[in-house]
A = this chain, B = another copy of it.
C-alpha cells in the first residue's frame, strides 16, 4: 500500500540521518539526550531547574522543538543556556531537522545537548534523532493507566520522570500503581518521582543525568571518539 510504503521510507531515511547525527556527536564527544512528554508535563521547567543545578559543572545547550512560538527557547536563554528553536508543522522532530539546526547552532563549546521534543506522547517515539539516551517526563496528575495505553514512548525511554508528585495528594492517582504500570511496559527504565515546582526528588534526577553523561563519555573513549577529536 502506497501510504505504508512511504511511511516506511520516511522512517528508514530518518534512521540514516540519525546515524549521521550520532557520528557527528561522537566526533565532538557531545552527549545528547532526547526528552519527550505530552504537552504541559513540565519539560521546560525541568530544564530551567536542571540548568541552574548544573551551572559550572556541565556546559549544556538545548534545542527546542515546538509547532509554533519561541516561548521555550526564550525561557532557556533566560536560564543562562544557549538555545535554538525549531518550529515545525509536524507533530514530532526528525533527525534531519536536528542536522539542519546544528548548521546554525554552535555546539563545539558544549558538553551536553538536550533536545526538547514536541509535546506529544505518540509520534516522537518513532523517530531516532541520534541521541544517546531518552528521557520521558510524565505528569502524574494525568492518570496511572497511561503507560498501558501509550506504551511505546515509555518502552523506549531510559529514564521516566513522574513529575508533579506534589499535586498527587489532591487527585485519585496512585504513584505506586503508576510506577508499576511504567515498569510493566518498560522493565529496564529508571523511574523517578519528582516535582519540578518544589524540588522533591530532584537530586536523584541530577544523579541519574550526570551518571548517564559519564557513562556516555566513557563509551566515546572506548569506541575511539577521542581520536577523532584530539584537541578535546
Interface residues of A (CB under 8 A from B): 2-3, 6, 10, 38-41, 66-69, 71-72, 91, 118-123, 139, 141-143, 145-146, 148-152, 164, 166-167, 170-172, 197
Contacts and interface: CB of A to CB of B under 8 A. Distances in A.
Contacts of A6: 2-3, 6
A176 B160 CA distance: 32
A146 B118 CA distance: 12
A120 B121 contact: yes
A118 B120 CA distance: 11
Given A39-B143, A40-B142, A167-B170, 13 more contacts: A3-B6, A3-B10, A38-B40, A39-B146, A40-B139, A66-B149, A67-B122, A67-B149, A67-B150, A120-B122, A141-B141, A167-B167, A171-B197
Contacts of A10: 3
Contacts of A164: 141
B69 A148 contact: yes
A142 B139 contact: yes
